[in-house]
Amino acid sequence: MRFPVFFIALTASCILAVELQAQRSVIWSEKPGTWLLNAGLGTTRYTGDLSEFGNVAHLQLGAAVNLAAAYRVSQQLSYRAEVQLYYIYAQQKYTRNYYNNLSFKSLNPDVWAGVQVDLWPVNDPYRATIPYVLAGVGITYMRPKAVYQGQSYGLSILQTEGVNYNQLTGSIRYGFGLPLLANERFRFNLEGAYTHVLSDYLDDVSSVYADRSVMSPLAAALSDRRAELGTPLNLPGEQRGNTGKNDGYFTLTGRLVFVIITPGQRSYRRQIGR
């Protein structure tokens, strides 16, 4: 007689556990009104006057860390805001314009806000993974530097092209995300994005070589670095960058997403008097 009793108790316990798990899943399921917090860590690749498209031998990858908050408006639309710190760099010696010998590095903050759109409703019962796209606008603060004779110098203040450009500039971002893992309150997404910077001076290079005779010795040395290779310097007015296209950068990040609160969880707390 003991075995049937044990079997019945075990079966009842399993049923109760499944019901509790289902209840928790319903409570924490994403619905309109859900708040989420996520953090990302990944890599960057700058695109601009000192980079070369398709040069896979020298990708010159940087790094990025970011923190974002999102609010779900509907089954497919969320609002999202993010702060980020990203590092980018490039050395012209790895491109076909190696003879100009320019380089830069930059650790910049940026913020942006926009929308995240799921390709299918998140309550679709037939899809375990739902990719999403994102788009938004923001601002970034450009801080290009270069190493010269073992020292790092800020380039914007030196006006290496004779231009006093604004280091604070706008940006446009768009990208694609793919959820990889998920449980009741945590998600792990892989996300790729591109940021168009609304300036051509992310790398301190844009147009033509300026007249070095009116610059300080340090600015002149960093304006044209051919002398370090022992080759003749460029003449004022010769091409230094490409004015036809602004700079930008790619990011590829792994994102840990945490569900802060959902309408179901708020309702549950009210029911238990908390």
pLDDT in tens, 97-149: 999 999 999 999 999 999 999 999 998 888 888 999 999 999 999 999 999 99
Would the pLDDT of 9 be above 50?
no
Q: Is residue 170 part of a domain?
A: yes
- Assigned domain for 8 exists: no
In this prediction, residue 16 carries a pLDDT of 35
Find the domain containing 111 and state its range.
Answer: 31-271
pLDDT in tens, 24-74: 567 778 889 999 999 999 999 999 999 988 888 888 999 999 999 999 999
| pLDDT given at position 125 | 85
Query: Which of residues 29 and 241 earns the better pLDDT score?
Result: 241
Sorting pLDDT into bands at 50, 70 and 90, what band is 273?
low
Q: Is residue 182 part of a domain?
A: yes
Residue 140, pLDDT score:
98
For residue 172, is pLDDT > 50? yes
pLDDT at 126: 87
The predicted pLDDT at position 269 comes to: 57
Average pLDDT value for the chain: 89
Q: Does residue 14 form part of some domain?
A: no
What percentage of residues in the chain have a pLDDT greater than 70? 87
Q: Quick check: is 49 in a domain?
A: yes
Residue 173: pLDDT band by 50, 70, 90 thresholds?
very high
Q: Does some domain include residue 97?
A: yes
What phi and psi, each to the nearest 5 degrees, are found at residue 106? -160, 130
Cut 0.85: pTM above it: yes
pLDDT at 205: 97
Is residue 6 scored above 60 in pLDDT?
Answer: no
Tell whether 15 is covered by a domain: no
Domain membership of residue 114 (yes or no) is yes
15-19, 31-35, 169-173, 235-239: least confidently modelled range: 15-19
pLDDT of amino acid 1: 46
Q: How many domains does the chain have?
A: 1
The CATH number of whichever domain residue 124 belongs to comes to: 2.40.160.20
The tokens for 109 are: 């903050």
pLDDT at residue 272 in the model: 62
